[in-house]
Chains A and B, each alone.
Chain A
Amino acid sequence: MKNSPLDNIVKILLVEDSPADVRLTREVFKEGKVKNKIFVVDNGEEAIHFLFKQGQYRDAPRPDLILLDLNLPKKNGKEVLKEIKSNPVTSTIPVVILTTSKDDEDIQTTYQLYANCYITKPFDLEQFIAVARNIENFWFSLVKLPENSNQV
């Protein structure tokens, strides 16, 4: 996609069904140093539609990063992760698991499924904000993200 208005902006797909968490995340990222745009879907099926540009998401941009909750309606996070990482079109997009679960099995399984990292969402508001900031600083400023050179 040449000369799109979304060039030079970090595009994030947030897969999250809690409106409160969505709102918080948006606020933290809005104040961040790096220009970014967050796209939100609230269930696993929509996440897949978005990533594969299906239906209403025909013109959806390819995200630079995916924040993925595990407990989602319609299709759970692990299923979504599996699909993302097994398809060459989407497999290079870093996926940050962001979930309330501290379960060891969830942690092991998601890393086995090639999740890029796993973060447990803090319940405490301030800690949540701090974590979101850390994600932003690390993934938007420090890490080199793959360029959208193999878009469909």
Chain B
Amino acid sequence: MSMNTYLKPVTILLVEDNPADVRLTLEAFKEGKVNNNLHTVKNGEEAMDFLHQRDPFKDAPVPDLILLDLNLPKMDGREVLEEIKKDEKLRPIPVIILTTSEAEEDILRSYNLHANCYITKPVDLNDFVKVAKSIENFWLTIVRLP
């Protein structure tokens, strides 16, 4: 049962510096029910360049959803989150924090900065894929994206 009424693919931005996690996420989303295009950047600076359509991302599409790791090189995920939610144009884009951290401080801070939700990445590969699929199912078929 799909609630999704999109005719064109959903654009997702994955901000993740671990190549294994990128690959797993890509696979999980590829197998999903909803047509989607997953773009990946590997640090916070690239994320902001992508979102502001700056070089080398001048032709980047505006994502419908962002999956954001917290611990990133160059510009950390918390800063990225803060910038996104302060920017009127970017604010509506749902940001799902997807990180290894289970620290209460990180959880609280992320919600304070208006993260849409916070998910801790499982260590186990199979569990990771299950989580990615749950995210895909919930955000792409149940939720109405802006």
Contacts and interface: CB of A to CB of B under 8 A. Distances in A.
A87 B132 CA distance: 32
B85 interface: yes
B138 A138 contact: yes
A131 B3 contact: yes
A144 B92 contact: no
A139 B91 CA distance: 21
Contact of B111 (A92, A117, A130, A138): A92
A6 to B, nearest CB: 19
A144 B3 contact: no
Contacts of B53: none
Interface string B91-116: 11110000000101001100110101
Nearest to A117: B143
B134 interface: yes
B142 interface: yes
B117 A116 contact: yes
Contacts, number: 80
Nearest to B94: A117
Interface in A83-136: 85, 88, 91-92, 94, 102, 107-108, 111-112, 114, 116-120, 122, 127, 130-131, 134-135
Contacts of B29: none
Contact of A108 (B94, B108, B146): B146
Interface residues of B, number: 29
A122 B134 CA distance: 20
A135 B117 CA distance: 12
Contacts of B111: 91-92, 94, 146
Contacts of A144: 102, 107, 118-120
A52 B17 CA distance: 41
Nearest to B88: A112
B37 interface: no
B71 interface: no
Contacts of A91: 111-112, 114
A152 to B, nearest CB: 15
A20 interface: no
Given A107-B146, A108-B146, A149-B104, A114 B114 contact: yes
Given A116-B117, A147-B104, A142 B144 contact: no
Interface in B52-88: 85, 88
Interface of A: 85, 88, 91-92, 94, 102, 107-108, 111-112, 114, 116-120, 122, 127, 130-131, 134-135, 137-139, 142-147, 149-150
Given A111-B92, A144-B102, A149-B108, 18 more contacts: A88-B112, A94-B111, A107-B144, A108-B146, A111-B94, A112-B91, A116-B116, A116-B117, A117-B116, A118-B143, A119-B144, A127-B1, A139-B117, A142-B131, A142-B134, A144-B118, A144-B119, A149-B104
